[in-house]
Amino acid sequence: MRILGRDDVALALKGLGPAVLDAVRSAYVLHGQGHSQVPFSSFLRPPRPAGSRIISLPAYLGGPEPVMGLKWISSFPANVEQGLQRASSVQVLNDLDTGYPQALLEGSQISSSRTAASAALASGALHGSRPVRTAGLVGCGTINQRVLAFLTLTHPELETVVLQDVVPGRAEVFAAELDCEYPGITFRTGDVAAALGAQTVSVATTDSTYWLDLAAYPDRPSRQVILHLSLRDLSTDSVLGAYNVVDDIEHAVRERTSLHRAEQEVGHREFVHAEIAGVLGCSEPPATDGTIVFSPFGLGILDLAVAQAVLKAATAAGLGTEAAGFDPGSHRVTAAMAGRAA
């Protein structure tokens, strides 16, 4: 089995942005065509620390280069207070013929990259040919850092980014870091209202209190795209008042997401208008002048697609380690044992 640690994955991902976008787009299209298996994610919520969880995402993705495996990802928000990353993950890829584990990859970078790529793809498809010059980032963590990287690929015309975070000083530090990395973009910090003044807004927080009421910010631009990545920020009224796009309706309307909460309140799912696979297949964006909200639950097929691209790049570059002993070995029954069994 090939093992790719954190540094191996980081090196393999360098310059791989366009390939990651292609992999995520292809995965969505294949899923929309029925060439995938995506069982519901399983949630493990340990008693402490409060708010912590570990999620397992098994999946199979068909197409020209089929792949199957499992993502195992933890989210421990209290880590941030100790200077640690909130999320950690491992990705297992299995051989299609034997089912044996084929590769083990450090998965947090794969997870953040697939989330960010899916958000940027959605922003591009939902805006269509309209240029996007302003973006807002609500939450200044790893996810939105990666979202910006992919937004610069899908919206190369991007000029101004407004940053907001509930932790004092975090947005200012983030802005200084990004200013060095993207000298062609102007970074400003502000409150939620300032961030929501942008054409595309990515919401990636650790909040799960449905705190964001879009109606309280009436000066938002028309046809604004909200990338609702953390899934539990928007109020029910915000969901019901928007044109809603999801990655998969059966996955997105569950596990206490804002969409799930809206369904429980109104008793139906008619407020969900489209799945992203259908939007990616259209030449024009949705015909609405209202706010468009993209709420991706996060399908395991995206992790598979990106992990496969990373593994391919890493193998070509000679990265990683081949580890023996991860196959079960031989289990042949000898003639003597067969005779005794009879």
pLDDT in tens, 60-93: 999 999 999 999 999 898 888 888 888 899 999 9
DSSP symbols for 297-326: ---HHHHHHHHHHHHHHHHHTT-SEE----
Strands 134-138 and 67-75: unpaired
pLDDT in tens, 107-142: 999 999 999 999 999 999 999 999 999 999 999 999
pTM of the shown model: 0.91
Q: d(Cα 140, Cα 301) in Å, to the nearest integer?
A: 26
Bridge partners (DSSP) of residue 24 are none
Q: Which amino acid is at 113?
A: S
135 near 200, Cβ under 8 Å?
yes
Provide the Cα torsion 268, 271, 276, 278; round to 10°.
90
Q: Which of 33, 87, 28 is nearest to 306 (CA)?
A: 28
- Three-state secondary structure along 98-167? CCCEEEEEECHHHHHHHHHHHHHHHHHHHHCCCCCCEEEEECCCHHHHHHHHHHHHHCCCCCEEEEECCC
